[in-house]
Amino acid sequence: MNLVERIKEKARKSVKHIALPEGDEPRTVAAAKIIKDEGIADPILLTKEQIEAPSNKTKLDAYAAALYELRKAKGLTEEAAAKLVADPMYYGMMMVKMGDADGLVSGAVHSTGDMLRPALQIIKTAPGMKLVSSSFLMECPDRTLGEDGLLVYADCVVNPCPTAEELAHIAIASADTARTLCGIAEPRVALLSFSTKGSASHALVDKVREATEIAHSLAPDLALDGEMQFDAAIVPEVGASKAKGSPVAGRANVFVFPDLQAGNIGYKITQRIGKASCFAVLQGLAKPCNDLSRGCSVDDIVSTVAATAVQSR
């Protein structure tokens, strides 16, 4: 069974309510039917017409009032809050915030930033989490790589330029995603760089080294190492020669990129040249909300909704 099938299987065990703010977008409508028919989740298709219908006014007013309370310190007026909640994206976020939905999936139409901003502003980070980031779950045809062909890449979506401390938190959150969503019992985390264990000197390398130290101190039991080049992280012979004795080198299954440029480029190379199938999840939010690529297929939406349902358990 591949990763997506395993995630769908998990999702079916406890049916969650997932808001879909792009409720009149054809791929989303088709995906919702599959999700419902296959018992993966209870999809809630949201449209502007339905939100603004007179029968929904009490709910709309309640969400507007709650959004105003949440954001008034940031300068949001009552008038602006009322206007925002009529937007299905904000309405969906408020459903999740208020416990009327367990999670949200969007992005077939909206850009990543337009989906992320309301999630960060309304849902916010989970208690104890320093920041929101993402993991890309990459399934490669070559099963000798990573964990039986499964590689977790982070952060390829959210944080353009993480500090060393933020990178450390991304590493720990990604290990947790590997465990809980991918079923990887022993995450082995490599913090990637263009240097392996001091082979090059540069401030960018220092940042990754510092991030490794911070992550070690925050999660001493996690198998984690850096700084490390990608080949040293993934090829056993290269790992053995460049980072002798490392618990991670040559057999990493979680790969933390030093910034968003590297991460985003890296996942697309693996997808396009390595022919890996992939999808992303956000990690660190108080409740799960996930983004789609605007080029997504119906199957991508089904997989992402299944993953969101599993994250909400």
CB of 166 to ligand ACO, least distance (A): 8
- Choose, by CB under 6 A, the member of 160, 183, 213, 237 that binds ligand ACO: 160
Q: Which stretch binds ligand ACO (CB under 6 A): 124-132, 180-188, 196-204, 212-220?
A: 124-132
- Choose, by CB under 6 A, the member of 18, 64, 85, 132 that binds ligand ACO: 132
CB of 120 to ligand ACO, least distance (A): 3
**Do the beta carbons of residue 33 and residue 113 sit within 8 Å?**
no
Number of residues in contact with ligand ACO, rule: CB under 6 A? Answer: 17
CB of 12 to ligand ACO, least distance (A): 27
- Choose, by CB under 6 A, the member of 131, 140, 170, 182 that binds ligand ACO: 131
Task: Work out whether 50 is an interface residue with ligand ACO (CB under 6 A).
Answer: no
CB of 9 to ligand ACO, least distance (A): 25
Contacts with ligand ACO, 82-121, as mask; x by CB under 6 A: ------------------------------xx--xx--xx
> Please, which residue, 36 or 71, has the CB nearer to ligand ACO?
71
> Please, which residue, 56 or 293, has the CB nearer to ligand ACO?
293
Q: How far apart are CA 151 and CA 138, in angstroms?
A: 5
Contacts with ligand ACO, 260-279, as mask; x by CB under 6 A: ----x---------------
> Which has the closest alpha carbon to 195: 247, 232, 223?
232
- Tell me which residue has its CB nearest to ligand ACO: 120
- Choose, by CB under 6 A, the member of 135, 159, 253, 312 that binds ligand ACO: 159
> Please, which residue, 154 or 208, has the CB nearer to ligand ACO?
154
CB of 121 to ligand ACO, least distance (A): 5
DSSP secondary structure letters along the chain: --HHHHHHHHHHTS--EEEES-TTSHHHHHHHHHHHHTTS-EEEE--HHHHTSGGGHHHHHHHHHHHHHHHGGGT--HHHHHHHHTSHHHHHHHHHHTTSSSEEEE-SSS-HHHHHHHIIIII-BPTT----EEEEEEE-S-TTSTBTTEEEEE-SSS-SS--HHHHHHHHHHHHHHHHHTT--SS-EEEEE-SSSTTSS--HHHHHHHHHHHHHHHH-TTSEEEEEE-HHHHH-HHHHHHHSTT-SSTT--SEEE-SSHHHHHHHHHHHHHTS--EEEEEEESBSS-EEE--TT--HHHHHHHHHHHHHHT-
Residues in touch with ligand ACO (CB under 6 A): 74, 112-113, 116-117, 120-121, 125, 131-132, 157-160, 264, 280, 293
